[in-house]
A and B are shown apart, each in its own frame.
Chain A
Amino acid sequence: MTSEDLEHFAENELSLLETLDHVLTLGLVVAGEITISVANIELIFIGLNLLVGSTETVYEVLGKRLQNLDQSDLSTQSPSR
């Protein structure tokens, strides 16, 4: 990333990224009670290194959900032939 790349982000965009970085990855956590879902993935997946932490958090949540979905699909699938 270069300073030119950074300049492509308006101040309010950087402000939003910083807000996401703080709000989604830091702060007090009540174990087992974080219940978020991702309806608007493009909000998070901006592809900027600044958001590595947030993206990881989202993928962690998404991954678990997809895994649960897969298992649920498998368990409800009837043998096909």
Chain B
Amino acid sequence: MIRAIPMDLYAYCLCQEMEGGLLETVSGVAGAKPFGLPYEGLVAVVSELAGGPITVTRENVLAHERVISHVFARTTPLPFRFGALLRPAELDNYLELNRTALLAMLARVRGRAEMSVKIIAQPGSAAVAQDPCMQPSLRGEGLGQGAMFLAAKQRELAETRMIEERARETASWLAEQLATVVKDTCVRLRPTGGLALKAAHLIERARLEEYRERLGLARMERPELLFLTSGPWPPYSFCDLTTRSHDR
């Protein structure tokens, strides 16, 4: 069981093993010193913090990420989302309740890192203009006010449909391009505005360079798309407990 601590705990991440002294040189949220709390095969990286809400400031967000990155440099942890402030008994209960699922997730991400890809499709592209729905009459030419309103709505729907279709097509194309190097994928289609999709790829650390090369080739193949890539990250997108059932 976790030892009793009178203050609240701010949780950064979970891992399975941690070298002694790993956290000695890093400071956490509000300048607090992080440390590892062992719990039956898991180690929770936390720091003590007086109660109250955690303010979203640049300093606090970066401190959260700094501690996780520090651990990530040695092993692949499961990061907590910013703001996980809980009482020791609550952390204890969380770990007890989810222990098996958390260990399974740690096994899944072991030796791996997350790479992030955001793809932005430029709105108003030729693809939309070529949509058969976009007849001259639907652009409102030579119509009365009511018909113009309906034409505008129809145009809006047609554009949305095209963007959604393009987002799905882009996701499928990207998955195909990276299939040999990606171990797991988490894709969120964002067919609004210009952002077509957000993808997170789980990659073996040893194959990150190969991943970058393949992504580079893919980018050259689709110059009409804007890519924003970042990483390696701790596996933020691959630790969603809500889709898994509890151990008991």
Give residues in A with beta carbon < 8 Å to B. Answer: 1-3, 6, 14-16, 18-30, 33-40, 43-44, 49-50, 52-53, 58
Contact = CB atoms under 8 A, between A and B. Distances in A.
Nearest to B61: A23
Interface of B: 11, 13-14, 52-58, 61-62, 64-65, 78-86, 90-91, 94, 116, 118, 120, 122, 190, 192-195, 198, 226, 228, 230, 233, 236-237, 239, 241-242
Contacts of B241: 28-29
Contacts, number: 124
Given A30-B84, A35-B53, A52-B195, A40 B58 contact: yes
B12 to A, nearest CB: 10
A1 to B, nearest CB: 5
A20 B65 CA distance: 9
24 contacts: A1-B194, A14-B228, A14-B230, A22-B116, A23-B82, A24-B81, A27-B236, A28-B78, A29-B81, A30-B84, A33-B84, A33-B86, A33-B90, A36-B54, A37-B55, A38-B56, A39-B55, A49-B120, A49-B190, A49-B194, A50-B118, A52-B190, A52-B193, A52-B195
Given A2-B122, A49-B195, A26 B57 contact: no
A74 to B, nearest CB: 23
Nearest to B83: A36
Contact of B79 (A1, A14, A16, A28): A28
Contact of A26 (B14, B55, B81, B230): B81
Nearest to A39: B55
B57 A39 contact: yes
Contacts of B194: 1, 49
A50 B228 contact: yes
A50 B65 CA distance: 18
